[in-house]
Amino acid sequence: MDKILVRGNGPLSGKIVISGAKNACLTLMPATLLSEEPLTLTNAPRLSDIRTMSLLLQSLGAEVQTMQDGKVIAMSSHAADNPVADYEIVRKMRASNLVLGPLLARHGHATVSLPGGCAIGARPMDIHISALEAMGAEIELKEGYLHAKAPGGLKGADIPLRFASVGATENVVMAATLAKGTTVLRNAAREPEIVDLVDCLRKMGAQIDGEGTDTITIDGVDRLHGATHPVVADRIETGTYMLAPAIAGGEVELVGGRIDLLGAFCEKLDACGIDVRQTNTGINVRRRNGRVDAVNVVTEVFPGFPTDLQAQMMAVMCTADGVSELEERIFENRFMHAPELVRMGAQIEVHGGTATVTGVDKLKGAPVMATDLRASVSLILAALGAEGETVVNRVYHLDRGYERVEEKLNAVGANIERVSEDV
């Protein structure tokens, strides 16, 4: 098992190229199950989660081929005849549940294991289930598997989600493309990854309106055809690297980054003293003064502050001027990085869903342990501005969502390396 060594190395300078969005790509890949014609994704990120989804689709009978060093994923489901998503693959990644809607739409039945992933909360499937049941599906949980069938095929329905779940929105939108009649999804999630999914489905012949709003209307069609689609830029990777110069100082350009995907996040950066400017090629970020100001953060569904940037923002607040409060409203158990930051000298108190951070002048390098994907990178960010060496253990989480993080950070002047556990 690898670990990452980070040595505080002063201000950063240069460019970081932003990859395609992990969460978008993981949503787009199951869309291949909706058509017998090829679906090709370009600008794909090279991540372990993408490989896991590829294995899952292949286990269902789809053909998946990566090209151009993994940046292009060519898929075909013309022979996908196995509607069973096995636990041994699904347990590795929560996004595996996104095959449920497409399998039901295509086969009229599916058996999908309950998903796994990193331990940041329950993320229950009940919203997915009730929405699909409203479309005529019959779903039963037995021995850890969802056994779903739609004897008369899926039918359009008016579906109000009790929570604007991203995964449930994606599952229903995909399933509804081949349902009979019109589906109206209310209180739908509005994330850019959903807009990207709809863009792709529309290229495949789907009839969908309202993406990016809280009401999405899908008119079912008889069949979808093939398409080629570029994966949208990763807004979470973008936001993560925007915080690197906020912690270490300097000025960085994020090539391919888009401010319009990170409105609420950029507002917080401005409030704490970080300049953010859209350029012709990406986003330019620099810290205005020697120390950022403390700001309060509340995570919300899009277009609010992303829960996937909460841990990274906490790392910045550890050395901010003043006291900040970070309230987590999306997932429970998402402050597991706080004790590790405390090991580096941070002053953090956690009470339920709120963390209070009192800024200190400087963090100190220390051995720390990654507990989930975003916690992993928050510790690396904190280490960029810390004195001495930080050793981040259990970084296999990191490889699920960040492509070549050492290479990208070293390109702007960081001192970071990956080593084997026995080094």
CATH code (residue 35): 3.65.10.10
Instruction: Please give the radius of gyration of the chain, using alpha carbons only, rounded to the nearest integer.
Output: 21
Domain that holds residue 54: 22-230
- Report the first-to-last Cα separation within the chain, whole angstroms: 11
- SS3 for 19-67 is CECHHHHHHHHHHHHHCCCCEEEECCCCCHHHHHHHHHHHHCCCEEEEE
Which candidate, 263, 212, 216, 223, places its Cα nearest to that of 242?
A: 263
Contact present, 173 and 216 (Cβ < 8 Å): yes
Same domain, 274 and 208: no
Q: Is 9 annotated as a binding residue?
A: no
Q: Is 94 annotated as a binding residue?
A: yes
Same domain, 73 and 30: yes
Non-local (6+) Cβ contacts of 130 within 8 A are: none
Cα separation of 381 and 377, whole Å?
6
The pLDDT value given to residue 128 = 94
Relative to beta strand 354-358, strand 109-113 is unpaired
Non-local (6+) Cβ contacts of 259 within 8 A are: 266, 276, 278, 283
- The total number of structural domains in the chain stands at 2
* CA 234 vs CA 239, 254, 313, 401: distances in Å: 9, 11, 17, 10
Q: Is 333 annotated as a binding residue?
A: no
The pLDDT value given to residue 314 = 98
Cα separation of 53 and 99, whole Å?
10
Same domain, 214 and 68: yes
Q: What is the mean pLDDT of each run of 10 residues along the chain (423 residues)?
A: 92 97 97 98 95 96 95 96 91 87 95 67 76 96 92 96 94 98 97 98 98 98 98 97 97 97 97 96 94 96 95 98 96 87 98 96 96 91 97 89 94 95 58
Cα separation of 313 and 56, whole Å?
33
Non-local (6+) Cβ contacts of 84 within 8 A are: 60, 110, 111, 112
Active site residues: 118
Same domain, 11 and 35: no
- The domain boundary residue, chosen from 208, 230, 252: 230
Side chain identity, residue 337: H
The pLDDT value given to residue 279 = 95
Q: Is 22 annotated as a binding residue?
A: yes
Same domain, 241 and 133: no
The pLDDT value given to residue 423 = 46
- The domain boundary residue, chosen from 187, 204, 230: 230
Same domain, 177 and 296: no
